[in-house]
Amino acid sequence: NRGKMLFDLGDFEEALAVYTKAISFDPHFKDGFVGKGKTLDKLKRHKEARAAFQAAHSIVSPIQPIAQNTSWMYKEPFRYDL
C-alpha cells in the first residue's frame, strides 16, 4: 500500500498522512493503525504511537472469533476418534 511504500522510502510525514486518511475512511482498518503506530514511532512521537498500537489491538478481525472457536481442534488433535 501507499503508506508502507512511503514509510519504506523514509517519507514518514507523508506516510503518516496516508495512514491517517485511510483510518478516517475505515476506523476498523487494523493495518492502518499498525502502520500509523510504526510511522509515529519513527517520528519519535511515542505516546501517539502507543495509542495507535492500542487502537489496532482493540480491533477484532472478522475471522478472529472463528479462529478462537476452532482453536480447540489444534490443542487436542487426538481427543476424538474419527
Domains of the chain: 2-75 (1.25.40.10)
Question: Which of 11 and 57 is assigned the larger pLDDT?
Answer: 11
Distances (CA, A) of 63 to 40, 60, 67: 28, 8, 6
pTM: 0.74
Joined together, the cell numbers standing for residue 62 give 472478522
Q: Is 15 exposed, middle or buried (0-12, 13-18, 19+ CB in 10 A)?
A: buried
What is the phi-psi region of residue 76: left when phi exceeds 0, alpha when psi lies from -120 to 50, beta otherwise?
A: beta
* pLDDT band at residue 60 under the 50/70/90 scheme: confident
State residue 55's pLDDT score. Answer: 94
